Amino acid sequence: MPDLSEVLGSMMISLVHARRMADEETAAVAEYYKDNPLLEGMSLPRVRVPELTIDLPVTIDDHADATRAQLDTPGNIHKALMQQLNSTLDDEDILSSTKTFQSQFNKDAKKAIERVYEQQKSTSGKITREAMVRAVDDALQSSLKKSSAGEEIAAVKKTALTEALRHRVSSVALKSPSIPASLKASALTSDVKEKSTPESSVRLSITLREEGLEWATSESGKGGKRSHLLPE
């Protein structure tokens, strides 16, 4: 049985592909107009659906409760973090010259991870990876200031270290992600006719509005090119 979100998502995806199919046909017509001397000066026909309203009967069959995310243990997070630290310092060729910093960060990061773990475990709100990432980042900056490594390590290498540790913590912080609550629904005509009751059936009036995007290319700071999707 699909979720209600899947039913609604399928309709929005269908509208996106309808726009694609229409644009592909417009491109084909453009080729035809270009090769026809009587049509090449005329404007191209292009059909768009700026707004679509759908009246959809559905049956609500079940409800699935949300599940909270679970943080991994402080020990596992700390172990993965220190492995990443050693790997990145080795890649940057500063592993052997930063022993004092490594020892300091080992202690600071362990305390920060345990503190956030206890806070998140006792909170009634949602558990977030970002809280763990920021705590480790603060511990890193604090450890750099406490040791001579903060001045000895080049800025570009500190940036690479910071990004590597942030990415690593973000990837290992959660043992399992949160799953939002969902409604099990059906929009199949046969299901609606056979299962529909006043208690389980509803009618959804949905208005979908089309917004076009287009690619724009710009130069990056390092001389390369980057492409961005912008509103047309």
Tell me, yes or no, whether 122 lies in a domain: yes
Task: Answer yes or no: do 74 and 141 share one domain.
Answer: yes
| Rg of the chain taking only CA atoms, in angstroms | 28
Boundary residue ending a domain (176, 202, 217): 176
pLDDT, tens only, 153-198 = 888 888 899 999 999 999 999 998 888 888 888 888 887 888 777 6
Please give the residue range of the domain that contains residue 220: 4-62+189-231
Tell me, yes or no, whether 81 lies in a domain: yes
Tell me, yes or no, whether 184 lies in a domain: no
Q: Are 136 and 165 in contact (CB under 8 A)?
A: yes
Task: Answer yes or no: do 58 and 77 share one domain.
Answer: no
pTM metric for this prediction: 0.63
Give the pLDDT score at 222. 57
Residue whose C-alpha is closest to residue 11's, from 60, 55, 63: 55
Q: Are 62 and 184 in contact (CB under 8 A)?
A: yes
Task: Answer yes or no: do 46 and 114 share one domain.
Answer: no
